[in-house]
Amino acid sequence: MGFSDYRTALVTGASSGIGAATVRRLRAEGIEVRALGRDARRLASLSAETGCRACALDVNDLGALTRLAASAEFDVLINNAGQSRRGNILDTAPDDVDTLVDVNLRAVLHLTRLIVPGMASRNRGHVVNISSIAGHYAFGENATTFNSSVAYHATKAGIHSLSQQLRVDLYGTCVRVTEVSPGRVATSIFQNQNAADNPDARFVGGFETLQSEDVADAIAFAVGAPTRMNVATIEIVPTLQVVGELRFASRSEAARLREMRSGADNA
């Protein structure tokens, strides 16, 4: 198995970043790729560059997803589309919760249920779910990171659980499942990260950060592995990034935080 036995792939979130890099990588291996994304202009450019078939649609459009899933026998599904919002549970906006659940989790579940049964019946296929270290670790704001969204963490943890359960559901078939869990990657999650007036620029410019091609290469390693080998989980982080930390707030610090929150509530 591997590249020689796979013919057609579907990559979501293909307009830029990890998705576009993955399209390029799979096309270089001779696989026909349907590139799904919302930015029709970028997809057209990617199609002209790589020969992929552009599919400009929203992953929240279930009817469009259903028609796309029925349009080909997909051997490889790369669930990459995702969004992020900043904020903890004390100030998360309802629209942010809905958007993250819809894009990061619901769309993945729908595409998986639409495409994987065909893989199982053909006894051939590979699902790659792009999660995040945010789905495995809790982290707050410090000098080198911003406080990520609790909803983002929750949806990525859902992708981790989905990947594990999917292997159980596909037991006895030759359909493989891989979860790729990246750390910080220089993608559009940091919008215009190189702009001097963007406060998020320090999260990329000042650090050695993974590139989209690094994640695409990890995906290619898993997909190209021999049939006896299922690369179940890949955690890929910058060499200089360490995940996890242990912090204690002193009594005075905790009191200060309570006073700040109380003042904000009364404002």
Cα 235-216-75 angle, rounded to 5 deg: 100
* Whole-number pLDDT of residue 88: 82
Closest CA to 232 of 127, 91, 99, 118: 127
User: Does 197 score more than 80 pLDDT?
Assistant: no
Q: Which tens digits make up the pLDDT trace of 116-127?
A: 999 999 999 999
Handedness of CA 128, 130, 132, 136 (dihedral sign): negative
Looking at the chain, the whole-number percentage of residues with pLDDT higher than 70 is 84
Contact of 111 with 12, CB cutoff 8 Å: yes
Contact of 25 with 220, CB cutoff 8 Å: yes
* Whole-number pLDDT of residue 144: 54
Contact of 17 with 185, CB cutoff 8 Å: yes
Q: Which residues are catalytic?
A: 152
User: Does 198 score more than 80 pLDDT?
Assistant: no
What is d(CA 51, CA 34) in angstroms, rounded to the nearest whole number?
A: 10
User: Does 108 score more than 90 pLDDT?
Assistant: yes
What is d(CA 107, CA 113) in angstroms, rounded to the nearest whole number?
A: 10
Q: Which tens digits make up the pLDDT trace of 142-187?
A: 555 555 688 999 999 999 999 999 999 999 999 999 999 998 888 7
pTM of the model: 0.86
